Structure 1
Amino acid sequence: MTIDEAIHLESYDQQWADRFSDELQTLTREIGPYTAAIEHFGSTSVPGMTAKPVIDMLVGVENALHWSEIIPRLTAMGYEDLGEAGIPGRLYLRKRGSVA
């Protein structure tokens, strides 16, 4: 996988936590029954830390058999399905714009 965009760092912004909370509510509504947990991780999740302004989220699913139901819901929400992205067994999705 190659980096397809410029990388820059920004001072910590409380809006990162707020954006995660907003997306968490949306994800919970759309795919909540299939999830074990949805976590904000990476540098934007650490208060005070300089970071790439990218909200990283990790979604644990209850059963991989539900991927065929989860992926279409996420793509309908604007997420781009990038498949395993070099790591067997992983599903990698990203959403551009103010949340991803």
Structure 2
Amino acid sequence: MTSTSDLLRTPGLTEFLDPPVPEGESPYVPGAGPGREIRIVEPDPAWPGQASAVVERIRTVLGPVAVGVEHVGSTSVPGLPAKPILDIDLRVPDPDDEASYVPPLEAAGFELAVREPWWYGHRLLRGTDPAVNLHVYGPDSPESARQRLFRDWLRTHPDDRDRYAVAKRDAAAAALAAGEHVQQYNARKQAVLRDVYARLFADAGLA
């Protein structure tokens, strides 16, 4: 696991890249689409154990191709309500080299759903039993570093954790009422998320 001080030195860490989808492109592979699960549930004490098992499965099938694998997202923060989907961060040498990691992950029960080479090289594979969103980045991705820093900050700052919980519940309620999907839910809580990042960066002397 990378230390906090090393993560804070990641190039581009404080610069959020939000490019539009290139004309004629789609982030979704054929047959896939945006997630629809936006229910927020109470923290489940089983989540950490489930995530540990998933992380070990990924490490086993990928071997050295898995530069790093960690449980991130809201299910990784004790006491934080979340969608009942485990977010796993996977770093590989080259996310564009799908042949090096997608086939073994598919054999292990994951399915490629999102391909975003224009956004930090991001790929998303989905798993079931338990439900998993497996996010793939390069080894020095600022987005991967931010996710891990955000997790660690919320684990040690209960005020921001609770504020983020309120934002998540409000966003989910509004998105459900409007019949929206998970990307629209994410957009609804982005202002609070970015504000927490600003506090994190300021505390580290980066802003």
1:51 to 82, 91, 100: 82
Which ranges in structure 1 are unaligned for 5 or more consecutive residues?
Answer: none
Q: Percent identity?
A: 28
Q: Which whole-Å CA distance do the structure 2 matches of 1:65 and 1:42 have between them?
A: 23
Which ranges in structure 2 are unaligned for 5 or more consecutive residues?
Answer: 1-27, 133-207
1:90 to 114, 122, 128: 122
Q: Which whole-Å CA distance do the structure 1 matches of 2:114 and 2:88 have between them?
A: 16
More helix by share: 2
State how 1:1-100 maps to structure 2 within 5 Å.
3-64=34-95, 66-84=97-115, 86=116, 88=118, 89-100=121-132
| Runs of 4+ that moved beyond 4 A | none
Q: Which moved more, 1:46-55 or 1:64-73?
A: 64-73
Q: Which amino acid aligns with 1:48?
A: G
Shift of 1:6: 3.7
TM-score by length of 2: 0.43
Q: Does the Cα contact within 8 Å between 2:95 and 2:122 map onto a contact in 1?
A: no
Q: Which amino acid aligns with 1:55?
A: L
TM-score by length of 1: 0.84
**What SS is found at the alignment partner of 1:25?**
helix
**What SS is found at the alignment partner of 1:92?**
strand
Q: Does the Cα contact within 8 Å between 1:34 and 1:63 map onto a contact in 2?
A: no
- How large is the Cα RMSD of the aligned pairs? 2.0
The number of equivalent residue pairs is: 99
